[in-house]
Amino acid sequence: MTENEVKIMIEAGLNCESVEVGGDGYHFEATVISKEFEGKRPVARQQMVYATVQEHIASGDLHALSLKTLTPEEAA
């Protein structure tokens, strides 16, 4: 799995202002900025992002995804 594939999955599942993904093909880190996070607690934000890649986590294609989730205001 590539960084771009992870980015595309997240963007397809959430309305994002920005998604940045880094990683080694097995472990990834993502910073996701979305208005959809407004009013949500950190755990709920992470669950929203994990839902976009859950199929690949379950299959083992994506082993680990560390997240930083921000609203546009928090990112500014």
Helices within 1-76 (DSSP H only)? 3-13, 42-59, 72-75
Residue 69 phi, psi (nearest 5): -115, 125
Is the predicted pLDDT of residue 26 greater than 90, yes or no?
A: no
**Fold (topology level) of 3-75:** GMP Synthetase; Chain A, domain 3 (3.30.300)
| pLDDT score for 5 | 95
d(CA 40, CA 17): 16
Domain ranges in the chain are 3-75
Cα separation, 44 vs 60, in Å, equals 23
Q: Which two tokens stand for residue 43?
A: 């755990």
- Predicted confidence (pLDDT) per residue in 12-25, tens digit: 999 999 999 999 88
CB count within 10 Å of CB 44 equals 11
Q: What is the pLDDT of residues 28-75, one digit of tens each?
A: 999 999 999 999 999 999 999 999 999 999 998 888 999 999 999 999
pLDDT at 25: 83
